[in-house]
Structure 1
Amino acid sequence: MSNHWLCYMSVKQLDISGCYLIDLPKFEDHRGAFIKTFHPSHFEDTPIHDFDLKEEFYSVSKKNVLRGLHFQEPPAAHNKIVTCLEGKVLDFFIDIRKSSDTFGKLVSIELNSSSPQLIYLPKGIAHGFLTLSEQATLLYKTDHVYAPSLDKGILWSSVGLGIETNSLIISDRDKSFPTFKDYESPF
């Protein structure tokens, strides 16, 4: 397949500085669909042209699972690209970069497998999501490998999401994160 599909890719700046929503072309025919989620030239003429893929992984979550808000601290901080391969999620993220003009800004976007989109999140953005469908699979691409000792989080309920809490499934780890107000950001 040639790079003619690049002309169909759309990159949109989101309300947090350095965060982008990328619409990907979806080619469908009688066999099904084809969606390219990454290629080194994907971002050549975009503000995220220097993304250097180091690790890729995915999570599978049941309905009402809430994960986040996650990030890695320096020196293992990473830029991240997220996409929903199966199902539907409410994806959300907050700027924890003290020097940013959008510090403390929260954005939420619905991602679903029928509309191929990527979200690009730079270093210093805490990320999470809530599964809206019976099951959802999120694929993550990062430009730094996982560093367990620098894997941190912000308590999701401290950022003003306004999500109904009575049926959420949340890990003990995610429940134990400091609030946004109490977190001392190194960013």
Structure 2
Amino acid sequence: MFDVRETSLKGCLRILPRVRADERGVFIKTFHIEAFQKLGLPTSFAEEYFSVSQKNVLRGLHFQMPPMDHEKMVCCAQGEVMDAVVDLRRSSPTYGAYALFHLKSSEGTMLYIPKGMAHGFYTLSDTALMLYQVTSVYDPDCDAGIRWDSAGIPWEVGAPILSARDQKFAALADFVSPFV
């Protein structure tokens, strides 16, 4: 049902669903409780939301601090994005490292992002619809991020469209991680 692949960041997984395509388009199952349980993935999500972004928008790099840190499942439901995950777990051999993923709605690829990792993406298509499921409720006091251009990610963009919030985040080098 799902082809699950490890990434260069321990615990961060690429999940490739079966894509059924015909003359009408595609049909993709993004969740199956028994399959997720068998894979050790979360099956209970506290919140689910989506964002719509125009071309050249960069969102990130976001995460929630403890005690409201969360596991996250993301996928691109329309369009395509360059997705990035950065390991912020101090004891991890890949602390500070990033992994990049090209997510396209036609492929349905999902990412499982464990606690202690920052997430962001850059919109490649005219618009992109991103879906998120998280295992804890959003808490503005625990909302955090690191600056998009401070982790060495080759975004291949000079001047992305950023929110005021994302522009104010500290650089990775200045971030004191609470994640073990």
Q: Place the TM-score, normalised by the shorter chain, in its bin.
A: over 0.9
| CA distance, structure 2, for counterparts of residue 51 and residue 152 of structure 1 | 25
| CA distance, structure 1, for counterparts of residue 95 and residue 177 of structure 2 | 11
Which of 95, 98, 117 is equivalent to 1:103? 95
Partner of 2:5: 12
How far residue 184 of structure 1 moved from its aligned partner, in angstroms, is 0.8
| CA distance, structure 2, for counterparts of residue 51 and residue 96 of structure 1 | 24
Kindly, what percent of the aligned residue pairs are identical?
45
1:152 and 2:144 matched: yes
Please give the per-residue CA displacement for 1:54-81, whole angstroms capped at 9, x wherever unaligned: 1110000000000000000001000000
Q: Contact 1:51–1:79 at 8 Å: present in 2 too? A: no
Q: Contact 2:122–2:155 at 8 Å: present in 1 too? A: no
How far residue 99 of structure 1 moved from its aligned partner, in angstroms, is 1.2
How far residue 119 of structure 1 moved from its aligned partner, in angstroms, is 0.3
1:77 and 2:31 matched: no
Please give the per-residue CA displacement for 1:64-115, whole angstroms capped at 9, x wherever unaligned: 0000000000010000000000001000010001011211111111001111
Partner of 1:132: 124
Partner of 2:104: 112
Q: Greater shift after overlay, 37-46 or 16-25?
A: 37-46
| CA distance, structure 1, for counterparts of residue 157 and residue 16 of structure 2 | 31
The list of structure 1 runs, each at least 4 consecutive aligned residues, that deviate by more than 4 angstroms after superposition, is none
Q: Which runs of 5+ in 2 are unaligned?
A: none
Q: Normalized against structure 2, the TM-score is what?
A: 0.94
How many residues were matched structurally? 179
- RMSD value over aligned CA atoms? 1.3
| CA distance, structure 2, for counterparts of residue 64 and residue 78 of structure 1 | 27
How far residue 159 of structure 1 moved from its aligned partner, in angstroms, is 0.5
Partner of 2:86: 94
Q: Do the aligned partners of residues 170 and 52 (structure 1) sit closer, same or farther apart at CA in structure 2, a change above 3 Å counting?
A: same
Q: Which runs of 5+ in 1 are unaligned?
A: 1-5
| CA distance, structure 1, for counterparts of residue 107 and residue 157 of structure 2 | 27
